[in-house]
Chains A and B, each alone.
Chain A
């Protein structure tokens, strides 16, 4: 039970991390149609800028400053580069961001070095928010903060006690992800910006002649998306690792989230993130493979077949590639994505 709860929490919080990473991308992708390959690079920039700022003024101010800096950089990039290629269509847009991602990685390494920097979460976020104590006799208990060591050990060897702290960093991450969801949702539904951009994708001139400053809106949206990535970076970087490879490792999975959720659908991205987070976490927990499946349903297998790697691959081994499998299946059977309204 406690394993289930912890796994569920892990899954949800990982899912929320994915959402945090991809919310900015969803924003940019759904509104501007730009597949921003440099999104993860902005995430990384957020982490590094956050790291530097935090050294001078502490973590909390950095949490505000870094996203702003990254947002401004994003806006500047939109203005100087992306805007120039917008008229050539989506492939050049994508390639420009591709080029940018190379440049950012190199610049980051020039400025901050090629190895990880030590970016720690603040005091307040170190340690657990709460601890789950599973006592084989007394059952399950929840204690806020750290559990005293004596609670986690039993004098009697027959009694098994397991303490599972839930890290505050993860809790904070979840909180921020939810705030992001709310703010992007407000931006999309409470303002006309979304409409302006959607309209401008097909008929930019018509939108302009209705009195909307389309280039500026594009710039703002791209800046906002980058800022969201930057915010995710400060949190992700301090919770996990701040290193030059951090962009590459999350690069493609966030596309999966956006696409699986349904292009242009914020709620879809949210659902997809949670789903992928939970699926992946629980997949790790299972040792099932085709082999065990065959054995359970009683299919006789030859020895050579038994040693076949495909058959022996367990669910937990393939867990990290499940998102891609999920992506391919979703697109084949439901090209609009989970909650999307139309095909790409």
Chain B
């Protein structure tokens, strides 16, 4: 019996694998700032940590509990506000607390508000839940502009993280120190949230997602399961908010806004809500997309929209699912056969995207930056937005790319299909054995 089960699940095995994964995660957190050490690089990394915690906490609701929330920013945001107020207290000397613990204040605030709001929201599920969170989110946001005492009005609340006594020379002035603080929190929070998925409550949360009715008949109160999970998610959301407060040293109303909540949803999904590590990818992408993409191109919103359209259509499990599908293929030792197709597919995609992006960039250039004449720099290439040659070239590249893509895609799909069929058969045989 033991042999069959372990062959059935080639992925879950051995603790060395787990150590390896967590070890490299920690290592990555430690060395990252040495690779991307510029001012922007550091803030981007810091925000990735923050976003990872936020997306993971969001996924406790979406992926693990089946709760589609449109208002998660309420908890990250209110956590931020409480944290910055606490920071200011510390600065004033009205409160004694090491700055490194401020995020916990944010966490407790997130938890507190989750206790409060969660009580009404989690009594319902499905669309009703989603709509209540939407309404609550809008309410909190609208109120934030109307109540300057707490939210600081339009200018928000700012603080100075170099408050209190430095501890072992750590003042949190330099971004690098803040980054490491965030890194520590990120590691711990990710570990804790992972641990949560392996606890009775975490498992019952999955059960509630799958079939709330049946849960009631095995002794659990679904509302309470949802509520508790919501509170825990609120706590981690608050920590993420608290870290953001330290990172930016200012908190404005936008942090509770619908756009932020929407971003959590979108990127969690894009990363992959069905796997624990999906939202980590989502968080990283969120920061990349919102900060770097918009600096790279003026058409960032269009790209973002298109990425979503195509990702949801062709990879509804998110990037994590794509990865796991390939891991499965690899586990059955079949990934090798695909490398050729992958390379071809990749090349074709690059060509196609290059052409398409060149077209988009030229269109935007024509509309937005006529100042610099018709020339634009596209990945080191000079294009002439008013010249025939550039247009014909771009269209040609895009068309050729598309043709190649279709060709390689078909070939790839066939191979992929054949391999999947083989794997299914292998599994069947094992089950039958």
Q: Do A and B bind each other?
A: yes
Known: A92-B316, A110-B363, A324-B138. A103 touches B309 (CB 8 A): yes
Residue in A85, A106, A252, A331 whose CB lies within 8 Å of B305: A106
Q: Is A318 within 8 A of B146, CB to CB? A: yes
Number of interface residues of B (CB under 8 A): 43
Contact yes or no, B135 A331, CB < 8 A = yes
Q: Is the Cβ of B309 less than 8 Å from the Cβ of A100?
A: yes
- CB <8 Å contact, A81 and B127: no
Contact A321 B142 (CB under 8 A): yes
Q: Which of B114-167 contact A (CB under 8 A)?
A: 120, 123-124, 126-128, 130-132, 134-136, 138-139, 142-143, 146-149
- Chain A residues with Cβ below 8 Å from B149 are 308-309
Q: Judge whether A99 is part of the interface by a CB distance below 8 angstroms.
A: yes
The secondary-structure label for the interface of chain B is helix
Q: Given the known A-B contacts A317-B146, A332-B132, A335-B124, are A98 and B139 also in contact in the complex, defined by CB atoms under 8 Å?
A: no
Task: Find out whether the CB atom of A103 lies under 8 angstroms from the CB atom of B135.
Answer: no
* Nearest residue, chain A, Cβ from B300: A106
Checking B127, B265, B302, B313 against A102 with a beta-carbon cut-off of 8 angstroms, the contacting residue is B302
B306 at the binding interface (Cβ < 8 Å): yes
Interface string of A323-344 (1 = CB under 8 A from B): 0110110011001000000011
**If A317-B146, A328-B139 touch, does A335 touch B308 (CB 8 Å cutoff)?**
no
* A328 contacts across to B, CB distance below 8 A: 120, 132, 135-136, 139
Q: Does B299 sit at the interface, judged by CB under 8 A?
A: yes
Contact with B along A79-119 (1 / 0, CB 8 A): 00100110010111011101111110111011001100000
Contacts of A184 in B (CB 8 A): none
In angstroms, Cα B145 to Cα A313, docked, is 11
**B276 on interface, CB distance cutoff 8 Å:** no
Beta-carbon nearest neighbor of A307 in chain B? B149
Q: Nearest residue in B to A258 (C-beta to C-beta)?
A: B131
- Name B151's closest neighbour in chain A (CB-CB): A309
Chain B positions 296-312 with a Cβ under 8 Å from a chain A Cβ: 299, 301-302, 304-309, 312
Asked whether any CB of chain A lies closer than 8 Å to the CB of B68, the reply is yes
Contact of A252 among B62, B147, B258 (CB under 8 A): B258
* Pair A103/B302 contact, Cβ less than 8 Å: yes
**Complexed CA–CA distance, A105 and B266 (Å):** 17
Contact A321 B139 (CB under 8 A): yes
**Contacts A102-B305, A308-B149 given; does A331 touch B138 at CB 8 Å:** no
A85 touches B142 (CB 8 A): no
> B301: which A residues are within 8 A, CB to CB?
102, 105-106
Residues of chain A with a CB closer than 8 A to B313's CB: 81, 84-85, 96
User: Can you list 18 contacts pairing A with B, beta carbon distance less than 8 Å?
Assistant: A96-B308, A96-B309, A98-B266, A99-B304, A99-B308, A99-B312, A103-B302, A103-B306, A106-B301, A110-B367, A259-B127, A324-B135, A327-B131, A327-B134, A332-B124, A332-B132, A343-B124, A344-B126
Interface residues of A (CB under 8 A from B): 35, 81, 84-85, 88, 90-92, 94-96, 98-103, 105-107, 109-110, 113-114, 252, 255-256, 259, 263, 308-310, 313, 317-318, 320-321, 324-325, 327-328, 331-332, 335, 343-344
